[in-house]
Amino acid sequence: MARLFGTDGVRGLANGVLTADLALGLAQATAVVLGQGRSAEARRAEGKRPVGVVARDPRVSGDFLAAAVSAGLASSGVDVLDAGVITTPAAAFLVQDIDADFGVMISASHNPAPDNGIKIFAHGGTKLPDIVEERIEEHLEAEQLMPTGADVGRIRRFADAEDRYLIHLLGSLPHTLDGLRVVIDCANGAAAGVSPQVFSDAGARVSVVGNDPDGININDGVGSTHIDNLARTVVELGADVGIAHDGDADRCLAVDANGTIVDGDQIMAILAVSMKERGKLVDDTLVATVMSNLGLRRAMDEHGISTLQTKVGDRYVLESMNENGYSLGGEQSGHVIMSEFATTGDGILTGLHLVSEMARTGKSLAELASVMTVYPQVMINVKDVDKTRAHSDESVLQAVAAAEGELGESGRVLLRPSGTEQLVRVMVEAADHDTAGRIADHLAGIVRSSLSIV
């Protein structure tokens, strides 16, 4: 059986790859594997059933997939709390907040509406390690002894789910947002309800775009993957800042008053400096991936902050943060994790704290973002090559060494084999875009000629 779980749950075309049968089976397997945890066993000792939270984003396929997941859990003896349409980080928070045994989020994040996905959170609202995902996949094909009669689970509406999350977000803020004009792009997704509300409750004057979800327009020309519309709106309205979410609001990108995009690296730089000043940055360390811009590391060095790099993927950032107790980490894409308040990337939380820093310091977003100089970055995907030899082929290694010698301290080179495709990503950063492009083109040619499988 091919591996079902990818880097962030099970994802694919709804009713194509991701069917109701698969969703039901995954839920039943999840109930078996995660229903054996200490919290679930403690409930059984008290004569209670395990508890699972189920939530979804507003894409149209979420209805039948959430119904299938809820049915699978209840038929396995799990009591289901149906939180309806909420964000992925809200679902993770609720699992932790009510001490549920696990949670299931139905969302394909930034993907287009025809896709959907199933993300599973363990007790405490944390993402699953690979070994637990493998156990769930193994149980998909195993015979299950199902409860009957009064032992089956119940499905109930989680009536105050959004209120709990909103109160939690407001309680995290170090400063109100009074006087600031904020435009929020909800990507026609799960943030449409709570994000404008919480920014308004925090004191901001709020305008909203991408807040009319109809089940099929999620991420369609709006949100963090299509940020130009937000940039135009911020400038037209004379707003102080724009905040862009993706479909399930685990990402946050920003736009300053001039319409300039502020990415995840810049947001992390701003938050890291602020948290250090306020004694909130554990061990004065920021966790980022190898894809984060060289300028981020340089800026952190200048402020006495260490940068710990991980493999690409917020799950690896989380693993490092959890292992070492660090308080801030994330990715250039806008997945930012503030572990004091969240167990996963939370776009609304990130946006609130970013705007709160503007209010606290009285500085514009452009001023705050100037803490970091963004180095021009060029990436080329070289297809149809033997990616397994990317870090061992002598010609490639010599070319990389020569490029690194030319760049010196003013840039860097990264060759990254794709985890899902037969290609190698060549990334070059340099002090100017022309140099980065020239070196990236040269290296891509060497990779193509040396590793070709066509």
Q: Which amino acid is at 117?
A: G
**Angstrom distances, CA of residue 16 to CA of 105, 137, 277:** 19, 19, 50
Please check if 109 is assigned to a binding site: yes
Q: 352-387 in b/e burial notation, b at 16+ Cβ within 10 A?
A: bbbbbbbbbeeeebeebbebbebbbbbebebeebbb
Residue 139 near residue 88, CB atoms below 8 Å? no
Q: Which long-range contacts (CB under 8 A, 24 or more apart) does 132-135 make?
A: 132/33, 132/34, 133/5, 135/33
Give the Cα separation of 139 and 23 in Å (integer): 13
Helices (H), 108-215: 130-140, 161-172, 194-201
Give the Cα separation of 414 and 321 in Å (integer): 23
Please check if 250 is assigned to a binding site: yes
**Angstrom distances, CA of residue 65 to CA of 1, 55, 127:** 22, 10, 20
Active-site amino acid positions: 109
Close Cβ partners of 360 (under 8 Å, ≥ 6 residues apart): 174, 175, 274
Q: Which phi and psi (to 5°) does residue 425 adopt?
A: -95, 125
Please check if 99 is assigned to a binding site: no
* Placement of tokens 């920014």 in the chain: 199
Residue ranges of the annotated binding site are 109, 246, 248, 250
Residue ranges of the annotated binding site for Mg(2+) are 109, 246, 248, 250
